[in-house]
Amino acid sequence: MGERLRVPVRLGLLFAAALVVLPARAQSVLEFDRWMQQIDRHSQDVLRHIQRRDDAAALADARELAALYRRMEDFYQQRGHADDAVLASFVGRDQAEQAASALASRRYDEAYAQASALARDCRNCHIQYKPMRP
């Protein structure tokens, strides 16, 4: 009789664990959406700051973009079955890092080109890899 009670208890514990895990997954998707909004805001801001030659603000935005793209890359690696999105995240991070490097050396045209490419690639990729679909 004791063994028969253990099976429902184990199933109940597995169900409870699944309920704990599901919100964590949903939270990561919501967090991902916030990252996308932050990426959009920073990619537009970095372009404006470069045009104004506001080195400190542009460099801060470029560095934040690199960090956000690194988190996005990790998100897609953990999600699986999204090799193109992982690659796009890697490329975005690289573009942000190159923009930051160019800004640090006051190569504004190069920084602007990298930041523009990053913003364009972000828009082109978003529709295909948005994590929540109707």
pLDDT of 104 higher than 90:
yes
Instruction: Classify burial at 84, counting beta carbons within 10 Å of its beta carbon; exposed 0-12, middle 13-18, buried 19 or more.
Output: exposed
Residue range(s) defining the domain that contains residue 99: 29-129
Question: Is there a domain that residue 13 lies in?
Answer: no
| 56 part of a folded domain | yes
Looking at residue 77, what is its pLDDT?
87
Among residues 35, 41, 45, the alpha carbon closest in space to that of 85 is found at 35
CATH number (domain holding residue 103)? 1.20.120.660
Q: Which of 116, 123, 72 is closest to 93 using CA atoms? A: 72
Residues sharing a CB contact under 8 Å with residue 63, sequence separation 6 or more, in sequence order: 96, 100
- Give yes or no for residue 11 having a pLDDT over 50: no
Structural domain includes residue 21 = no
Tens-digit pLDDT profile for residues 56-73:
999 999 999 999 989 888
**Is residue 118 domain-resident?**
yes
Asked if 43 and 95 touch (Cβ cutoff 8 Å), the reply is no
Structural domain includes residue 9:
no
The reported pLDDT for the residue numbered 9 is: 41
Average pLDDT over residues 21-48: 73
In a domain, 37, yes or no: yes
Please check whether residue 44 lies inside any domain of the structure: yes
CB atoms closer than 10 angstroms to residue 90:
16
Residue 99 has pLDDT above 90, yes or no: yes
pLDDT at 13 over 60: no
pTM for this structure? 0.70
How many Å apart are CA 58 and CA 87, to the nearest integer?
A: 25
Q: How many domains does the structure of the chain reveal?
A: 1
Give pLDDT, residue 72: 83
Residue 91 has pLDDT above 70, yes or no: yes
pLDDT at 82 over 90: no
**2 belongs to a structural domain:** no
